[in-house]
């Protein structure tokens, strides 16, 4: 059966996450339903990562095995037609070998987290960024983030329901950028690693927000990490501001 890879973006607000669920809407079910309009017996699709409820994607990657050898552009066009009006779009499609796997072939995943600092409720960015009502010290957040760079036991920043075999992960990048956005301050945190633990990014962001608000000192991030204790973590940031921005493979797929 021909195998196809899809680069997918979506607004996570209407969904209970990527993974198909029996009684709640999911991104996976939406894509599989669109595929079923093209071929009746499409098996379950696989994705590079399972984003949680409310989390967005600019570069999720998934694959499916189809009976027909579609021309990739026509396949993406047909899928986008059947995905309407859901906030999900296939932005690229490619034919891949049968050994290629969206999850297991991935060598890097990238996430972005947006924080907008303002008193007033968000209107245009509601559900797409975390509103923090106080200014944040981006330089202090960078100092705290430096303690998390590299290979560590991230038990402190791991959800209790995480199914990963090991809490040891290597953070290849944690950057904190402060920009002016529509006349307001936005903090953008970028993360890059081969793989992440469940809620790892949101747990780190919530902790760094405490540093930016001067409730924690940057050195306390190191103490929390070394504690290897979930109770030492700061509050978990909401899903609103989190985006899966991209997935990398040994060879460019799209």
Q: Give catalytic residues, as residue numbers.
A: 52
Q: What is the DSSP string of the chain?
A: --EEEEEEEE--TTSSBSS--SSS--HHHHHHHHHHTT-TTPPPPEES--PBTT-EEEEEEEEEE-SS---HHHHHHHHHHHHTTSSEEEEEEEEE-TT--TTTTEEEEEEEEEEEE-SSPPSTTTTTSEEESS---HHHHHHHHGGGSEEEE-GGGS-TT---S-SEEEEEEEEEEEEEETTEEEEEEEEEES---TTHHHHHHHHHHHHHTTSS-HHHHHHHHHHT-GGGS-PPPPGGGEEEEEEEESS---
Task: List CB contacts of 67: < 8 A, sequence separation 6 or more.
Answer: 1, 2, 39, 41
């Amino acid at each position: 059966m021909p195998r196809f890879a899809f680069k997918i973006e979506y607004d996570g607000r209407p969904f209970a996450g990527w993974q198909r669920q029996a009684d709640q809407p999911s991104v996976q079910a939406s894509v599989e339903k669109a595929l079923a309009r093209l071929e009746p017996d499409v098996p379950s699709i696989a994705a590079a990562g399972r984003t949680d409820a409310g989390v967005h994607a600019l570069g999720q990657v998934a694959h499916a095995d189809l009976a027909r050898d579609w021309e990739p552009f026509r396949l993406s066009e047909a899928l986008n037609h059947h995905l309407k009006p859901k906030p999900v779009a296939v932005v690229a499609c490619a034919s891949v070998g049968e050994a290629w796997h969206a999850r297991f072939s991935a060598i890097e995943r990238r996430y972005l987290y947006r924080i907008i600092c303002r008193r007033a409720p968000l209107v245009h960015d509601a559900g797409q960024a975390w509103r923090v009502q106080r200014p944040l010290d981006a330089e202090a957040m960078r100092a705290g983030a430096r303690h998390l760079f590299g290979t560590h036991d991230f038990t402190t920043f791991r959800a209790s329901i995480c199914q990963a075999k090991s809490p040891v992960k290597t953070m290849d990048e944690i950057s904190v950028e402060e920009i002016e956005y529509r006349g307001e301050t936005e903090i953008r945190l970028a993360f890059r690693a081969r793989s992440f633990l469940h809620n790892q990014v949101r747990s780190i962001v919530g902790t760094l927000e405490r540093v930016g608000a001067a409730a924690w000192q940057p050195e306390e991030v190191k103490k929390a990490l070394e504690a290897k204790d979930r109770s030492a973590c700061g509050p978990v940031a909401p899903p609103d501001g989190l985006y899966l921005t991209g997935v990398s493979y040994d060879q460019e797929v799209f």
